Amino acid sequence: MRFFLDNMISPKFATALRAVDKDVVALRDLYAAHTP
């Protein structure tokens, strides 16, 4: 299962979940700031 975290969740949380082998994608990892 893949988890997708929006900008309301800290990107540090996504990094921590990746460290325990979870499939996590943070919105900030995919798109630059202020992307429409």
How confident is the model at residue 3, as a pLDDT? 82
How confident is the model at residue 7, as a pLDDT? 81
How confident is the model at residue 29, as a pLDDT? 81
How confident is the model at residue 36, as a pLDDT? 76
- Judge whether 18 and 3 are in contact, CB under 8 Å: no
How confident is the model at residue 33, as a pLDDT? 78
Q: What is the 3-state secondary structure (H, E, C) of 3-35?
A: EEECCCCCHHHHHHHHHCCCEEEEHHHHCCCCC
Alpha carbon 3 to its chain centroid, in Å, reads 8
How confident is the model at residue 24, as a pLDDT? 86
How confident is the model at residue 5, as a pLDDT? 83
Low-confidence ranges of the chain (pLDDT < 70): none
